Structure 1
């Protein structure tokens, strides 16, 4: 495949490429973020109305909080879909690649080796999600584990089978 020559190792070849579904998905976490953002914006709007009654332009300091609240509520619903629309997936006979092209962050390409020890987790559905890696993200109170993989793909079961075949081949090579 063109464009992969300087990325792939000798003997490595692309066996599957795909894109995730970019539809907006309503999950409980998304809805909670949306509601929190609306409450934040609502309080800022209330504050601005009350501050405007005192006269002057002091009420304008609430605009930034109102904007943040709207951003949190809208971002909570639409960011995941936007990120998926700007993602590409590739599976080789040795690694899984996730490429993204996002504003401010730019283009990125991450590779994850598929070994005999890689834990594969398939969430089946009309659009399947296949997790095969994890990373730690910093939070206010420490860190949390975030699972990584191919999200919302149409041929999840087939890709899962390909990854299992890669693992099987590696186990056979280890025994030899």
Structure 2
């Protein structure tokens, strides 16, 4: 962005005027903000909806309730059956996914325990 500002000031000293010098700062700012989002934004954008999400596991169903910033309040509920695919994503905070990798209890502290409970529920149903 500093380079863009230097180019604009150089154009101003040499008598270059018109539309082009006025477009350099907004054009440079767009790249600056895109770079900031690439480094930090996706982390914050992913964390905010998870802070507004509540998970519930019963003996027959799973519930994921989210107060999403742009979509409003959402409730996803699924029956647990013997054919449901349940996977565990291991990391600092584990995730237990079901119905493929689309829905699940994401980045929770007791993900391994939830995964075991869901497997036990499946076993008891069959």
TM-score norm. by structure 2 comes to 0.71
Cα distance change on mapping 1:76 and 1:112 into 2, 3 Å? same
Q: How does 1:147-162 map to 2 (within 5 A)?
A: 147-162=102-117
Could you tell me how far 1:102 is from its partner in structure 2? Answer: 2.4
Q: Which has the higher contact order (CA 8 A, sep 6+)?
A: 1
Q: Distance in 1 between matches of 2:125 and 2:24?
A: 64
**What is the Cα-based RMSD across aligned positions, in Å?**
2.5
Larger Rg: 1 or 2?
Answer: 2
Larger helix percent: 2
Query: What's the secondary structure of 1:49's corresponding residue?
Result: helix
Query: Does residue 64 of the first structure (1) align with residue 30 of the second (2)?
Result: yes
Q: Distance in 1 between matches of 2:3 and 2:99?
A: 44
Listed as ranges, the gaps of 5+ residues in structure 1 are 1-44, 135-145, 172-176
- Equivalent pairs counted in the alignment come to 116
Q: How does 1:3-152 map to 2 (within 5 A)?
A: 45=1, 48-49=4-5, 51-53=7-9, 54-55=11-12, 56-62=21-27, 63-124=29-90, 127-134=93-100, 146-152=101-107
